[in-house]
Amino acid sequence: MNDQRSPIDRARLAELTGRELGRFADEHPVSAELFSRGQRSLIGGVPMPWMMRWAGGFPPFAARAAGARLTDVDGHEYVDLCLGDTGAMTGHGPPAVLAAVADQGQRGITTMLPTEDAIWVAEELGRRFGVAHWLFTLSATDANRAALRIARQITGRPKVLVFSYCYHGSVDETFAVRGPGGGTVSREGNVGPPADPAQTTVAVEFNDTSQLEAALADRSVACVLAEPAMTNMGIILPDPGYHQALREMTRATGTLLIIDETHTLSAGPGGCTAAWGLEPDMVTAGKAIGSGVASGALGVSGDAVGQMLAQADADYEDTGGVGGTLAGNALSLAAMRATLATVLTAGAYEQMIPLAGRFRRGIEDVIGEAGLGWHVTQLGCRAEYRFEPEPPRNGTQASQAADSALERYFHLHAMNRGVLITPFHNMALMSPVTTGADVDRHTEAFRAAVADLLGRD
Ligand SMILES: Cc1ncc(COP(=O)(O)O)c(C=O)c1O
């Protein structure tokens, strides 16, 4: 909690949050009723535990979502800047993807046979990310799990290096942080870890080249699994030169570099890999690449693929631990092809990225007018505001600066005024069908929330 750094009257914040909670409950009787009914059959009243996190105490139940709008069962229409926490960065149900999915559905959903779409998608991802060989999964989590197995297999090394407070999906090795003494410890809240993370993982702070160099020195690390910019504790950008150092150190120690572009695909059609000229050995992605139809992808560079397939003792064809029955299915590949061909195009980013700039400038103006020492960070079509003056340089700093009471107030205030942002930190995402008016609606809601908080008209 950040009480000392922020000039916020905490009693007023609590009172306003209470007022907004009351309004939310009053205006969402149907969602409240469904949530109550769901308690009897769903764990926590929701189909997936993260959905408990919405700021209203219960989530609005969705009736329909199309484009950049979502309507709940109580009839409220929202400007959706959450976009399924990136799964719907394409906008909900892009018509070309719906048509491709309907068409493929008529011709077979899953057959355990390849389709031509798989080759098209692999070629297109190869063109975007500069990594030639691909396999497909149903989620980014699965792509990351496969990447870690392959990296350990081909290097013969046991450990994985991640950044403290990273998130790469529910991947066991990644729920680790650097402890105060420099050792690797379990992240708080880690549910039933299969092993002490110190056995599987080395966690270092993002943007710290000394820690990185020391951690790679004994060559026990198979791979670094990295978001090019951290996005799951708010956006944390790399220092100038950090990626060059990361690549040089991983190459010098024979450590594979896996870049997870699941969220940083916000930076452009080839994510940060293309935007910043990175040279990963593997790339992982998911969520938006199929417009939210279950999809994930793992790209492996030619060198690593050669090593992978040369090892006769690794069973990739059956129960070696990579793959899944529905992975690479025809429906998923049809959705990915339509998404890449028609939705997440270079032209679309030319609209999406300036909208995130508009979001950033709008919030910066409100912050400046109110004299609040807060800041906004943008990464392509993704932007976030934070409640302290300087951007954090690593996950631990970001974690220590988090202010859940303020977050909740702003999320709830916006939701009550018809705007959704992600229920985790303060992320807003622009789709190809988001408009300037949508962004301005959020800015006005944010302005009103600040005025209420500071007791100004
Ligand atoms: C960077 C990153 N990688 C992977 C994942 C996992 O995605 P999924 O939950 O769709 O498997 C996430 C989810 O938020 C993520 O942020």
Out of 144, 262, 427, mutate this one to test ligand 1's pocket (max ligand atoms within 8 Å of CB): namely 262
What's residue 1's pLDDT?
42
Task: Report the pLDDT value the prediction gives residue 456, as an integer from 0 to 100.
Answer: 83
d(CA 245, CA 225): 15
For residue range 186-221, what is the model confidence (pLDDT) as tens digits?
A: 999 999 999 999 999 999 999 999 999 999 999 999
Phi, psi angles (nearest 5°) of residue 335: -65, -40
Ligand 1 centroid–CA 20 distance in Å is: 30
The strand pairing partners of 439, in sequence order, are none
C-beta of 260 in contact with ligand 1 (< 6 A)? yes
Q: Encoding tokens for residue 357?
A: 């700039």
Where the chain has pLDDT below 50, the residues are 1-5
Of 136, 138, 142, 167, the residue with max ligand 1 atoms within 8 A of its CB, to mutate for a pocket test, comes to: 167
Please identify, by atom number, the ligand 1 atom nearest to the C-alpha of residue 166. Answer: 1
E strands present in 184-278: 184-186, 201-204, 221-226, 256-260
Dist CA 348 CA 8 (whole Å): 39
Helix residue ranges per DSSP H, 43-182: 95-107, 116-129, 140-155
Q: Give me the pLDDT at residue 4, please.
A: 44
Residue in 63, 89, 97, 88 with CA at minimum distance from that of residue 77: 63
59 in Cβ contact with 36 (< 8 Å):
no
Does the beta carbon of 155 sit less than 6 angstroms from any atom of ligand 1? no
> What pLDDT score does 7 carry?
76
pLDDT at 424: 86
Report the candidate in 228, 106, 248 with the shortest Cα–Cα distance to residue 166: 228
Q: Is the CB of 169 under 6 A from ligand 1?
A: yes
Strands (E), 250-370: 256-260, 282-286, 296-300
CA of 452 to the centre of ligand 1 (A): 35
Q: Does residue 261 line the site of ligand 1, with CB under 6 A?
A: no
